[in-house]
Structure 1
Amino acid sequence: MTKMLASVTGVEEAEIALSGQVDIIDLKNPSAGALGAAALETIRATVVSVDGRRPVSAVAGDLPMQPEVIRARVEEIAATGVDYVKIGFFPSSENAACAAALEPIARRVKLVAVLFADLGTDFALLPVLAGHGFHGVMVDTARKGGGRLLDHMAVARVDAFVAAAKANGLMVGLAGSLEAPDVPRLLPFAPDFLGFRGALCAAAGRTGAIDADAVVKIRALIPEEASAARSAGVDYRLLAARGYAPGSIDPTLGTDRIFVRDFVLPVEIGAYSFEHGHTQKVRFDVSADVLRVTERPEDMRHVVSYDIIMDGIRAIVARGHVELSETLAEQVAALVLESPRVVRVVVRVEKLELGPGGVGVEIERKRADSKAARKGPSASDARPGRAGDERKGALP
């Protein structure tokens, strides 16, 4: 289950975050850089105020990659009683030495390494961190105002980063000037937490005070742990990522149609030997009928984002060679139908370099029981690929 981390400056903002049901309280000084450290007395006071209601983390500051300097600072922050200490790992030949110097502390407090998408994310550091007892790793952006996480890290690389971190036994988080539209795009990769600061400060920017309404808006996009009363078969993280809240579907509202047209990517595809070992241009057209949840959509809670379709296609393509256009179309259709709100999808996959015109396939898939879907998804409906097997001749 993905958790929500909110970066706060002290006791007052921590209480706002707690009122908004944030999962992890993270202390920093946003005026002092990407990982500006809060004063030790502020950290201690906040730990006392939170009083175990939520885990508390604190950043160590924008420090030079010098093992003894980093170790001394982390020792100070660990002594405040926080649950996690976050340490920035900037590109340096000393990264492995810094990780080794922190191993004794890692036996006493959970350490989380912070890597930076805009400075280059070194996947080779992940096993090193795990080997020295780090609890987790996250990717952030170092230059605030210089773009969001997804401006610097392609979705396929985000997917690979999360998978590589988990393969090394590390808790994994994603941050970096994230905004509300980024949440449904990142949740399908199943990070352990998403981190926010600027998006919680409304129009004030990351150095302003966090705003209670902005916290609630982001919190609503990241579902909390399912209670025992809920069906264990339904992935509520996935449902929320696709814009669904339990009990919110009114069948009288009907459907909307979202679409992605003329989306062209280089793809390793083809059954012939001459098609192996290189890419060719493939055009994707996708149209999905989506159950509405309100007559007046106002924010990301009310929609199924077309960004999810494009991100999903990119992730599928990044997996490697696909023999058949039909296989690729089925994978895209299954991806879109993972959304409990999608009742029908049409996918066209068109290879553009095999002649004067395009060649390919178009398929239509429906949720097996679209009537039941309009009443609200069951556990079986929520599973990927729960679709009928129909083909049509033209896009609607």
Structure 2
Amino acid sequence: MTLSKPCRLAIAVRSPEEARRALEAGADYVLAPARRDRPGAGPAERAGDGQPELYFAMAGDVTLPADPLRVARLEAPDEFVGVLRGGYSVVLLDPERALLRAFPLETLAEFQRACREARLECWFGGRLELPDIPRLLVLSPDALVFEDMEAETLAAGRRMLEAPVPSFAPERAVATATDRIFVRGFTLPFRVGAYRFERDRTQRLRFTVEAEVRRPSRVPREVSEVYSYDIVTDAIRRLADQGHTDLVEALAEDLAADLLRDGRLLSVEVQVEKLDLGPEAVGVSIRRTREDGQT
């Protein structure tokens, strides 16, 4: 089995001194715009004819390529066609506003697939913060690009990227101390329903999810030490982006299976309610454990 490459940590810099500090603090790459003249003079270079901004990524890890990588910086996925010529190694999606507010995860997943098909590395930027790391790791990007990170924050990001997801050990399941995390009343429009009249419109679904998670070994002080409820809401949004589904029961099963891929979860309860059929709510509630998915 081929193991996926680890996600790398890149820092956008504006000067050689910033680059030195970032590499000393543990960044895998420093990222700087190409300049027409000397550093600090003029905007990032564009190749013309709709080509993206050109950046260079320099590696601090001796196991990474010694030569700078040519990085195509895009502000939106629909600019991707411009990278198919130009000799780039990396495509960086880096909008001017927060990435996860600018684009849904499904759009980011499609962007990553386009990069893979073009044999280009996929990097994500866009005013990232530490809580974005676990949400984006589900997409297996090649690197995440941060700005203005102090050494302590950069070190926390490094720990988050390197922290292994605990594997499930059935023989110890009974003795495992757990906590519960929950998302209640998360409502989104879905295309769902087996009747013909339900196929031409959206209707509101309300999700309530409770998950039994492995208890941290100590009182958590960092985002990396907890299971983020954002992972749950992101998974629900991905379901909404998948198109029409006949049954809410299928949505509940798909969500439970998706969440249980994370080794920190031991069980999950999913309730899905339709809100637009007359009564206050109709729906289904299921509970699934990791053993349910074992053969």
Q: Equivalent pairs: percent with the same residue?
A: 33
Residue 43 of structure 2 corresponds to 62
Residue 111 of structure 1 corresponds to 70
Q: 1:251 to 1:182 in 2, by over 3 A?
A: farther
Residue 112 of structure 2 corresponds to 162
Q: 1:261 to 1:295 in 2, by over 3 A?
A: same
Cα contact 1:253–1:293 (8 A) shared by 2: no
Identify which of structures 1 and 2 has the higher relative contact order when contacts are C-alpha pairs closer than 8 Å and 6+ apart.
Answer: 2
Q: 1:122 to 1:252 in 2, by over 3 A?
A: closer
Alpha-carbon deviation of 1:15? 4.1
**What is the alpha-carbon distance in structure 1 between the residues aligned to residue 138 and residue 182 of structure 2?**
19
Alpha-carbon deviation of 1:170? 2.2
Q: 1:387 to 1:365 in 2, by over 3 A?
A: farther
Residue 103 of structure 2 corresponds to 153
Alpha-carbon deviation of 1:172? 1.1
Q: Which runs of 4+ in 1 moved over 4 A?
A: 9-12, 35-42, 63-66, 249-253
Residue 11 of structure 2 corresponds to 6
SS for the counterpart of 1:189 is coil
**What is the alpha-carbon distance in structure 1 between the residues aligned to residue 279 and residue 210 of structure 2?**
26
Q: 1:334 to 1:387 in 2, by over 3 A?
A: farther
Counterpart of 1:356 (choices 256, 279, 283) is 279
Q: Deviations over 1:221-265 (max 9, x none)?
A: 1128xxxxxxxxxxx5xx2xxxx599xx99978211111111111
Q: Give the helix-richer structure, 1 or 2.
A: 1
SS for the counterpart of 2:138 is helix
Counterpart of 2:154 (choices 208, 215, 223) is 215
Q: 1:64 to 1:194 in 2, by over 3 A?
A: closer
Counterpart of 1:178 (choices 119, 128, 143) is 128
* Residue 206 of structure 2 corresponds to residue 273 of structure 1: no
**What is the alpha-carbon distance in structure 2 between the residues aligned to residue 311 and residue 322 of structure 1?**
18
Alpha-carbon deviation of 1:344? 1.1
**What is the alpha-carbon distance in structure 1 between the residues aligned to residue 38 and residue 283 of structure 2?**
62
Alpha-carbon deviation of 1:295? 3.3
Alpha-carbon deviation of 1:217? 0.6
Q: 1:133 to 1:310 in 2, by over 3 A?
A: same
**What is the alpha-carbon distance in structure 1 between the residues aligned to residue 247 and residue 90 of structure 2?**
39
Alpha-carbon deviation of 1:37? 5.5
Q: Deviations over 1:58-110 (max 9, x none)?
A: xx963485739x99x96xx98xxx769xxxxxxxxxxxxxxxxxxxxxxx974
* Residue 92 of structure 2 corresponds to residue 138 of structure 1: yes
Alpha-carbon deviation of 1:132? 4.2
Segments of structure 2 that go 5 or more residues without pairing to the other structure are: 1-5, 60-66
Cα contact 1:347–1:362 (8 A) shared by 2: yes
Q: Give the strand-richer structure, 1 or 2.
A: 2
**What is the alpha-carbon distance in structure 1 between the residues aligned to residue 272 and residue 213 of structure 2?**
21
What's the RMSD between the two structures over aligned residues? 3.5
Query: Counterparts of 1:1-396 in structure 2 under 5 Å?
Result: 1-27=6-32, 40=38, 62-63=43-44, 67=48, 110-116=69-75, 121-123=76-78, 125-142=79-96, 147-198=97-148, 200=149, 211-223=150-162, 236=164, 239=165, 244=166, 254-368=177-291, 386=293
Q: 1:131 to 1:338 in 2, by over 3 A?
A: same
Alpha-carbon deviation of 1:36? 8.7
* Amino acid across the alignment from 2:236: I
Number of matched residues?
A: 280
Question: If the length of structure 1 is used for normalisation, what is the TM-score?
Answer: 0.62
Q: 1:140 to 1:128 in 2, by over 3 A?
A: closer
Alpha-carbon deviation of 1:137? 1.3
* Amino acid across the alignment from 2:121: M
**What is the alpha-carbon distance in structure 2 between the residues aligned to residue 271 and residue 132 of structure 1?**
48
Alpha-carbon deviation of 1:130? 1.9
Cα contact 1:365–1:387 (8 A) shared by 2: no
* Amino acid across the alignment from 2:122: V
Cα contact 2:7–2:140 (8 A) shared by 1: yes
Please identify the structure whose Cα radius of gyration is greater: 1
Alpha-carbon deviation of 1:7? 2.3
**What is the alpha-carbon distance in structure 1 between the residues aligned to residue 271 and residue 252 of structure 2?**
7
Alpha-carbon deviation of 1:305? 0.3
**What is the alpha-carbon distance in structure 2 between the residues aligned to residue 20 and residue 65 of structure 1?**
30
